[in-house]
A and B are shown apart, each in its own frame.
Chain A
Amino acid sequence: MSDGIQRETTVVAKTVTRIVVPLILVTAIALLLQGHNLPGGGFIAGVLTATAFALTYIIYGLDYIQTELLDRGVDVPDGVPTALARESGTVFGIGLAIAAGGGIAAMVLGYPFLTQAVAFLEHLPVYHELEVASAFVFDLGVYFVVVGGLLTILSVVGAE
């Protein structure tokens, strides 16, 4: 996209993207937070987040993501993985580490691998009662794995 024919995207598309992307991200986070006992979870939240990136990518282009979001230079397409691909791979790995680490933490506490627990914080201002579930850690791991995985696919396939 960085060379050859470059078509400008319309102002309408750019404006809609600017409005929609934050909405997608907020929905994604909401789904991630409620995932362990309501519809939602790390997977679907990750997919939504990846669509937000995909939309930015399609409308503004890879160079925009690399320079504005990742603060990297523009890559010359020479077969080497782009900065986006490398970063996504790391996100993927971190996600796996979080999910597996959450499972191993249970072992440290003397329970089988992946054992989950839940605690209720009561008498909080505004919230009154807040449910803290350890399953969220696993969900968070899944979230990063999905975001990292999908963005890797997006950047590698997109670069071809």
Chain B
Amino acid sequence: MSLSHVVIAPMLVALVTAIVTLLTRSRPTLQGGLSLLGVVGYAVAVAVLVGDVLSETVLTYQLSNWAAPFGITLVADALSAFMLVLAAVVSLAALAFSVIYVNSYGQRVSYHPLFHFMLVGVTGSFLTGDIFNLFVWFEVMLMPSYVFVVFYSGKAHTSAALKYTVLNLIGSAVMLVAIGGLYSTTGTLNMADMTRRLLAAEEYGIDPAPVLGLAALLFAVFALKAGIVPFQFWVPEAYSAAPAPITAVLAGVTKKVGVYAIIRLYFTVFAAATLPEGLGLPGLSGTSFLAFFGPVMFLMALGSIFLGGFGAVSRPDLDGVFAYSSIGQVGFIVLPLAVGATVPAVRSLAIVAALVYSLNHAIAKSLLFLVSGTVDDAVGAITFDDIGGLTGEMPVLSAGFFVGSLALIGIPPLTGFFGKLLVFQVASDATIAGGNGATLALAAALAGAILTIAYLSRAWKEGFWGETTGAVEGATATPGLVAVVVGLATLLVVVGVGFDPVYQVANAAADAALARTDYVRAVGLEVSS
């Protein structure tokens, strides 16, 4: 195992940027510049890491030079790399947007250090190969987000932040309990070691039944972070309260950390375990852990798609529509995972679908939240009562919104088309393979897609077409903000047109997520067969 600092580079770049921006608070211009430089450096570090991962499959890094499973391992495989790219793209756009959007007082109040600390947490979560360390990175990621939700310190923001904080603290406590339980049942915290032990559970004297229960408890926490029904209730308020670029990161990246954790832990680690015999729960067949989580995820995905969809149709403002839409779209990400968990034949394709959909949602949804921020900046309002006829006053921004909506709906040649296509393909392939409920998944995806069209065309009709309202009359969008939106819209088109490389990486990521023994061996542990 040769030592490659490339693995830890993105995290260190973000950490150093956070510290440097903290120490240069008294010089705002310098701080903003360093912050931007830092996020560009982050993107470069991620690009180098991705290049190395794609040529060498799995890279590992033992922090403090302690060997696995005793030390903390960082593991960069194609799955982590895919998620890091997503994080880098959204943070780059969000930070460029922030520098113009957030006023100078706001930027001085630790905006930049907190932004980069959040990025440190996100990066750590994607890279860590240690389940307790994952908890730590979740906390690092959440603490700045608490501050961001209360950033504007108004009545609504404080109320949203209180709920968001309390809920996430409860989530963290449950997570800690579940991880402690997993440690006591499996005897390890290292994900690779846990996989290895679960593969030969009898040899290590592990009873799989409590592991399943604890994994289910942990699943609730990840669902909370990802905002999946029935843990979605914090989403709309928190998204409305946080500054627009932060909401873009929360919806685009932080949510995906929950999705990533589900893929990593449930498809790589816990899928290694088998129950001695079925638990006899309704709808549960087979002895794989995934056979249990499949139906659970399926119900949660259905709930998310419909609650998010119907919720978004009736919201009175842009942020509300987008927040509920986020709930619905995460349903679309979990749906193929649920089908893949139940039907092993489509499992790899299911992960590809979830990843591609995540990528599209990350770019498109952060674009839409940035549009909402730009409108708020120019008009001072985002409720449909106050805005209207934006196409006339801000044609370029409206075009950005249009592209983002089409991507979310899934119109070719945008990225979203491939995301939707893959989700439908997973469901139809599963139907052909005779999977239980796959037809229902297909129908739900179709209905969800129609709801997406409904709420986005409503937002378009109410906000961008129609009578030009007094507030919109003569308002001009800040060119810098529009430029960021246009950049993301272009990216949606470019990724859609040149989709093949993205598909290849997503495919490699799905293979990496399922290549259990390779993962264990890469960390330097032996797999007993």
Contact A90 to B23, CB < 8 A, known contacts A112-B3, A113-B8, A113-B12: yes
Contact A104 to B23, CB < 8 A, known contacts A112-B3, A115-B64: no
Tell whether A114 is near chain B: CB-to-CB under 8 Å: yes
Contact partners of A92 in chain B: CB under 8 A: 22
Which of A90, A104, A113, A115 has the most chain B CB within a 10 Å cutoff?
A: A113
Task: Check A94–B23 contact: CB distance below 8 A.
Answer: yes
Given the complex of chains A and B, what is the CA–CA distance between A104 and B25 in angstroms?
23
Task: Check B65–A112 contact: CB distance below 8 A.
Answer: yes
Tell whether B428 is near chain A: CB-to-CB under 8 Å: no
Given the complex of chains A and B, what is the CA–CA distance between A90 and B113 in angstroms?
12
CB distance from B48 to the nearest CB of A (A): 15
Task: Check A113–B23 contact: CB distance below 8 A.
Answer: no
Task: Check B64–A107 contact: CB distance below 8 A.
Answer: no
- CB contact between A114 and one of B22, B26, B63 (< 8 Å): that residue: B63
Task: Check B3–A104 contact: CB distance below 8 A.
Answer: no
CB distance from B13 to the nearest CB of A (A): 11
Chain A 65-106, CB-CB to B under 8 Å as 1, else 0, gives: 000000000000000000000100110111011001000100
Contact partners of A89 in chain B: CB under 8 A: 22, 25, 110
Given the complex of chains A and B, what is the CA–CA distance between A104 and B8 in angstroms?
11
Task: Check A110–B19 contact: CB distance below 8 A.
Answer: no
CB distance from A109 to the nearest CB of B (A): 11
CB distance from B482 to the nearest CB of A (A): 33
CB distance from A107 to the nearest CB of B (A): 6
How many residues of A are counted as interface, with CB atoms below 8 angstroms from the partner's CB atoms? 18
Contact partners of B65 in chain A: CB under 8 A: 111-112, 115
CB distance from A95 to the nearest CB of B (A): 9
Contact A93 to B19, CB < 8 A, known contacts A114-B63, A114-B64: yes
Contact partners of B23 in chain A: CB under 8 A: 90, 93-94, 97
Task: Check A100–B16 contact: CB distance below 8 A.
Answer: yes
Which of A89, A96, A104, A110 has the most chain B CB within a 10 Å cutoff?
A: A96
- Give the residue name and chain of the B residue nearest to A99 (CB): B19
Task: Check B62–A112 contact: CB distance below 8 A.
Answer: yes
Contact A112 to B22, CB < 8 A, known contacts A100-B15, A107-B5: no
Tell whether B61 is near chain A: CB-to-CB under 8 Å: yes
How many residues of B are counted as interface, with CB atoms below 8 angstroms from the partner's CB atoms? 19
Contact partners of A94 in chain B: CB under 8 A: 23
Given the complex of chains A and B, what is the CA–CA distance between A44 and B61 in angstroms?
30
Contact partners of B113 in chain A: CB under 8 A: 93
Contact partners of A112 in chain B: CB under 8 A: 3, 5, 8, 61-65
Tell whether A116 is near chain B: CB-to-CB under 8 Å: yes
Given the complex of chains A and B, what is the CA–CA distance between A97 and B62 in angstroms?
22
- Give the residue name and chain of the B residue nearest to A104 (CB): B12
Contact partners of B8 in chain A: CB under 8 A: 112-113
Task: Check A96–B19 contact: CB distance below 8 A.
Answer: yes
Task: Check A116–B19 contact: CB distance below 8 A.
Answer: no
User: CB within 8 Å of A: which of B12-36?
Assistant: 12, 15-16, 18-19, 22-23, 25-26
- Give the residue name and chain of the B residue nearest to A96 (CB): B19
Given the complex of chains A and B, what is the CA–CA distance between A96 and B15 in angstroms?
9
Q: 21 A-B contacts, Cβ less than 8 Å apart?
A: A86-B26, A89-B25, A90-B23, A92-B22, A93-B19, A93-B23, A93-B113, A96-B18, A96-B19, A97-B19, A104-B12, A104-B16, A111-B65, A112-B3, A112-B8, A112-B62, A112-B63, A112-B64, A113-B5, A114-B64, A116-B64
Other A-B contacts than A97-B19, A112-B3, A113-B63, 20 sampled, CB-CB below 8 A, are A86-B26, A89-B25, A90-B23, A93-B22, A93-B23, A94-B23, A96-B19, A100-B15, A100-B19, A104-B12, A104-B16, A111-B65, A112-B8, A112-B62, A112-B63, A112-B65, A113-B8, A114-B64, A115-B64, A115-B65
Interface residues of A, Cβ cutoff 8 Å to B = 86, 89-90, 92-94, 96-97, 100, 104, 107, 110-116
Interface residues of B, Cβ cutoff 8 Å to A = 3, 5, 8, 12, 15-16, 18-19, 22-23, 25-26, 61-65, 110, 113
Nearest 10 interchain pairs by C-beta: A93-B22, A115-B65, A93-B23, A114-B64, A96-B19, A112-B65, A97-B19, A115-B64, A113-B8, A111-B65
